[in-house]
Structures are given as C-alpha cells and as structure tokens.
Chain A
Amino acid sequence: MLRDFYVDFHIHSCLSPCAEITMTPAVIGKRLQEIGIDWISITDHNSAGNVRTFSKVLKSLGIEVIPGIEVHTVEDVHILGFFESIEAAEAYSSWLYKFIPDVKVDPEKFGYQLYVNEDDEFTAMEEKWLGQPTSLKLNKAIDSILEFGGIYVYSHIERKMGIVYQLGFVPGAKNNSEIVEISQKNTFDKFNDLQHMSVIHSSDAHSPQELKKVMRLKAKRRNFSEFKECLLNQKRVELLWD
C-alpha cells in the first residue's frame, strides 16, 4: 500500500554558516508540523554533525529524517549525500572533515556554526569554516558517498554551486541513473536534458520561513530503501511549486 508523504530533503540547520541560528530542532519541527511535512533530510554544508539531534527530536514529533550532508567539492559544486543510518552519515562526516582545509572565519561576519542538543541549546561551535570547498574532486566525492553506502543527488543544478551552473553539464547524465535537484519551475520547464534524469525539488531552506511543501512522494513507509526507490522512480514523485 502506497501512502502520500510530504517531504523536503534539503534543509540546513544552525550548523551551516549561511543558515540562521534559529534553525534548531524545535523551531524546524514546529514549522514542519504547521505546514504538514512529515519526511525530511538535514543536509548541512560538509557536516552531518547535527543530524543525530534532529533525528531524535523530529521523530518524537512524528517526522522522519534521512541522514544527509551537502558536500562542497573542489570544483565549487554542491552534491547531497544521503545515508541509511545516522552512524553512516556521521562516519562519512568524520571522514570528510579531513578534507576541509583548516580555515577559520569570523562567525560575526560569516555566520555561526552551531551544534545543538535535543533541548534546543547550543552546545558547541564548529571552528573550521564549513562553507568552503573541501579538497575532494567531484568524482572522488561521489565515490566516497557510495562507499559509505549512500546515494548522491546534484544540488540545485541550475543555481550557483550547482553542477550545470558551474560546469555546464551533468556528467554521465545519459545513463538514466543521475538524480538532480531543480530549484525553480522555470528551469524545470526549459531544461531539455532532464528527461534523462530523475528530478527532485527541495527548499534548500536556510531560515524557518523558507520551509515549504516541495514534493509529495508515494511510498510504503518512510525508510531509506523507499526513499531511494522514490527518488529513482519518477512515477512516485510529484514536484510541488509555489
């Protein structure tokens, strides 16, 4: 039996330097409940450090979380990595940390990077700048996500830090297996190459007011295998635009 779920698989928490510090579990959870979203992913820049907390808090509100991360490659391309378990996402995050140059930036100028606990309290601040490119090349980033048992999606391909914007094309997009995220209906209507790819749409929210219904999935239940199945089977995905 397939059920309808409202989802958003690209949301930044207060750990992302460019996100508002109000992107905490309680605030996001409340907003998701208000608008009726029940399945999400937390995808911070170059870190899965807040995934565990969000998973616990949101689960208690009836919202399921796919553990995720948004990797910034050396080519200035963003890709989303999604993992089967919190442990896998955290293991990947620790591995990735070594590839983030040891560059610190002033949080007053470039945004705070905050770890949060289940009571919405900030527990620590990440010192390394998470908004910078890792030293991983795109191919290596993709391979590494796969090695940790994850799947990858090209973020907002038509915007800055998106693969088409940065490189002009999606490598390997003719083999039907690539999943891409589109930001705007406008681009979705115009993009000729999209017929070869699986397309998702996300909010890429950096503040609570940016959260909105972006997709409806038809799934048996909210787990990783159904998540993968839906992303690869466009018949089970309905993109929702403003």
Chain B
Amino acid sequence: MLLKELIDRCGFRIITASNLNEEIKDGYIGDLLSDVMGNAPADSIWLTVQSHVNILAVASITGIKAILLCNGLSYEEETIEKAKENDITLLETEKSSFHASLALFEAGLR
C-alpha cells in the first residue's frame, strides 16, 4: 500500500513527507535500536517511542521508509532536519504502538 494512503486512512500527523508515494510492505514495532536494526524488514513503517536522531541511521540501514512516533511524543529538531536529508517520512500519533498497529492493520497493511 502507498504510504500516503496509509496515512490518510490512519490519520497520523505528518512531520516530514519525503516519500509519500513509496510502497509500504510491512511494519515493525520496537524501541531498542539494536533490535530494530537486526529485525526490521525493508520497505516498512516503524512504530516506536524513540525520537533520537539515531533512529534515522537505523531506518537508512534497514530500508525503513517511515517512522511513526507513538504515544503523543514529538521529534527533536535535529531528527526532523536529518529526516528531510535522508528521505524518510516522520509521523506522529497520540495512539500507543499497539493501537497504532491496529489502525495500520485495519487500513489494510498486512
């Protein structure tokens, strides 16, 4: 499913929109960078509560296309700047990771 369709259907806030026409094929939930680095599938959306700039390196390495920051948290300026440079879409939601993943599932992401 296209990233922009997912965002529309789930109502996530867009913080940076670099690649909304990319195809999202999978998802991953994780707050430990090492775990995400080792296990996140490519072309996925990553649900986390981590907002440190290192998440972008993790996304680049794994091929994660979009990061969804859950629980109403917000990104640091530095992270937002780097995301624009690296063509990674940053999203925010008030939902917990669990409820955000339910929303993605209901939107059609499997």
B60 contacts A106, CB within 8 Å? yes
Q: Nearest residue in B to A131 (C-beta to C-beta)?
A: B54
Among candidates A105, A106, A135, A160, residue contacting B34 with C-beta atoms closer than 8 Å: A135
User: In the complex, A157→B46 CA distance in Å?
Assistant: 26
The interface size bin for chain B is: 10 to 19
**Interface membership of A62, Cβ < 8 A:** no
**Interface membership of B33, Cβ < 8 A:** yes
B85 contacts A76, CB within 8 Å? no
A132 contacts B54, CB within 8 Å? yes
User: In the complex, A105→B61 CA distance in Å?
Assistant: 7
User: In the complex, A129→B58 CA distance in Å?
Assistant: 11
Of residues 128 through 156 on chain A, the ones whose CB sits less than 8 Å from some CB of chain B are 129, 131-133, 135
A105 contacts B32, CB within 8 Å? no
Of residues 75 through 101 on chain A, the ones whose CB sits less than 8 Å from some CB of chain B are 75-76, 101
- Find chain A residues with CB under 8 A from B37 CB: 101, 103, 132
Q: Quick one: given A101-B37, A109-B85, A135-B34, are A160 and B57 in contact (CB under 8 Å)?
A: no
Given A74-B32, A132-B33, 13 extra CB contacts under 8 A:
A75-B32, A76-B50, A101-B38, A109-B56, A109-B57, A109-B85, A110-B57, A110-B82, A129-B57, A132-B34, A132-B58, A133-B32, A133-B34
